Structure 1
């Protein structure tokens, strides 16, 4: 289903926040104040802050990326294009490569197709072409993986080289099938202009436990056989209603008498009523080969009616409680092709089998399988493989538990063709979904690393259609089945958190895609660190200096706007260093930097009484990278940080 454009939200901020602890304010005090002041709580929305900073003329790669993404994830593509343009003007090769893909999609949505294509191609080059293109599918190999699952043999008592026989319907211990059995020439047994054989009629023959005949086939009695063709009979479970195919013997024009129609008859006592023509039939096109869903509420059939995808398509129509029928519905492009799709069959587990010459197969008509999911969705389309399928036409497949029938015009001499005959088979193992793959992952709060339950995971295919939607469990875990050969966009979201999206890779059986979501709106209660709310890892200073660098002003402007919008807010400025160097020197340096940070805010009009400061040096490391420890630069960077803790 095409995904609808989301209603624009006020904004979704793309930054992190956390209810952090401090050695000044206890967790109990924060909870108590939050509860007390719930009705008059003030919130900081980082998105608004970002926008205000940008409108004041400040800019950075991080700032423009967050702004562009906030609009992009809310389908406000015009605004997204504006900020992505600013981003790429500032940083032609941004740190987040996926920004090129998102920019290309936003451009496409606003009609800038040529520029969209350029950024898409650039993204492909950055990630490596093979990572972003669907691989060529080796269909022959996929068919081979599902081959060899059947033991097949002819129904010897029905086999013949001078007649056509096909069908799969079991009625108790008998097979109901269609055949041009040799018959004495009579008015009711004229020759068909199609093949020179007798017209098809409906027959029944008793079977043993191996599906071999135990007697001679008998033509069905009553009103079920006519002057022309009858075939493809199917019964309701109580055996009191039958649907079948019949030639159009009511045509007003001779050119229409080759069309096929579906009829229905009901058993009254020991007799079948006069068959009634279903209301969706027409003299101008064919409807044939009915099949019932397990609950008998839906009738499937094949038709070449106008508006289809090819020579003949599969359709379904609802059967109402009173026996009336709904409007036929085409099963869609995943099943129907420009070729022929015909002879549907629905098994007890709602699996659809049908024959097609439009999907990749072994030759002629091949039998395919697809699971009918809830809400009229489908699983992956699978060729059932050899020996059910062959170089010839293979059709009229039906199975009950592990036994069934298939009809084919194959010959013992490979490449030669004979008239259609019925084969019986035993399925030795179930079909394998050779397209099935798994995407799984965990969604966590980026600051706390705690799992986020009930986060929404939306999976979109390459056409931006929604493929699946799931929610994370109590451990933040999600899992979804996908098509191995497709590329998907996975979007993670949760209320009051940023959205994020990532792309899957094709041809991977199982891939793990985790998300760390940033909280975007938070109450200004004591202990909250504005640096984490506003994505400020550190206020940068030149080496061994305490003067504010120009690039640090962008982040300080975020804090400034929060203080300007919340006139009673007081904060404590805390500066930290890593453990390298003399500890006393680090203490002094962090103190000077905290003072410089405060002075910057005061110079912008903030009352100094609203600000306190602490230089903590290396006294509060967040990891084990103390003196004489071997740590990476990334680990040391975690300790070099600035904090802006809400006092009240």
Structure 2
């Protein structure tokens, strides 16, 4: 065979191979745009494994695994993408790929590398909540460890090898979603469509009587995520946009999730299935939860006005069961990523899942304690990661808890489960808040070893007590949640001090409270400033006035008591002003106030005038930086408006 013939065959083979790969890529693009991610990954992977490289190929291959929740593979191909010169040289490169790569790296617990790409994402974006969350919580792993609890999570026995998630309690039964059915497979994950199932739990912890929840609710498409009104007579649930036998798609051909309501029948069935009024075929509405009063419903949606892939919304539930106008819960909760699966407990605490905050990877469960009360009072929300073991590097979602039985549930696709998504159970631990602090001298900050610290209940009964050691530290680990306590510290030669605290709803709070004590015996001699020795409050005067106010009388009565205790004592009263106003004005004002102070000691206190001298010093003896022209706070200026009582003879 001639050399030219060999070259011709090789050339034809390469042309044929290139044509075949282009054909496969065209088919992959079609499948990709049609959301058939399982098929796409097979096709793209075959092309990439033959050594073909391109920004578009790696983007789509990474996305296929990312959106199909195969994060280890997504991390691999996004990593290949980041290594392409063509990607790094692209103008206006989409920073979303940095974010997705960082998220994928977390699922393989490569947090150091993930943080590197989150920093790249942060540098490439402006006004992105995910970036600001990351920058404000660079120590997020340590914070998550502090929130983590030593609890056991149990994989429930009715989980299967396919997807099971989303528990809700109804009449002592668990209602959940599962793909264990036998109907047509859903091409996103190649499993049957979700249906609602119910299982009973006996008093001895056995699960039995597993069956489909209700034939009227289950269709041949998806049903999931239920919420029941407090009286149990109405429910809301998630379903594909399939109503009255019509399967509706948006302009891109996507069938969205919708929210429906149903009424309970006298025989325990469900009827009057209705689409809520703000459903629309152009966006999804899903995953409802209802508060204890039954007047608020919270759900996830990507409706117009949504910040990210999906946001949390709240809506009023009217007395007739209809819903009001949805309101976005705002950008403290919602990020440019996904917020979903909300749950509000009996106390009004809100739990939800998100991949937009700094977490362990995938969807993590977050909470806002006292959410409902804060919402009503328009107080700021504090979003907290609930920590391990509820959260993991994988997806953790559909949190649910029953505070009466102290049991909780969540769903996860973590390793070690029975299938895709599994439902896990855990026992909510009792509240075990910690209170700790030091006992010290208020004036000198000296540690007061040997002081006694008592923990008392709201009625004043002693719960427990401690004598502090050389480090002067006390610690109590028996505090209940949402409970009032008194903390009392005492020591010889010091005034007893008492503080009242109300513990939070957070069962793992650690409260720090130092107990400063005031010396009950003060050593005084010639040169002692009685203002400092007895920690007197400032002798206040009204603006431009020199008469003694009632609150100042209390402080002057303390001086009178000292003078009466030591009849031979003589003092010099020195009155001062701050630097505001002119020097001459301040000198005159301080003289007037000095005369008023001495007059009060003589006329009201009965002190011999020969025992008292004094004058005003205006602004000439400032005790801080607050001279003319120096910006100072009102509190800083106040420190200079003082009267000193100096012992000049004992």
Q: TM-score of the superposition, structure 2-length normalised?
A: 0.49
Greater share of residues in helix: 2
Q: Which has the higher contact order (CA 8 A, sep 6+)?
A: 1
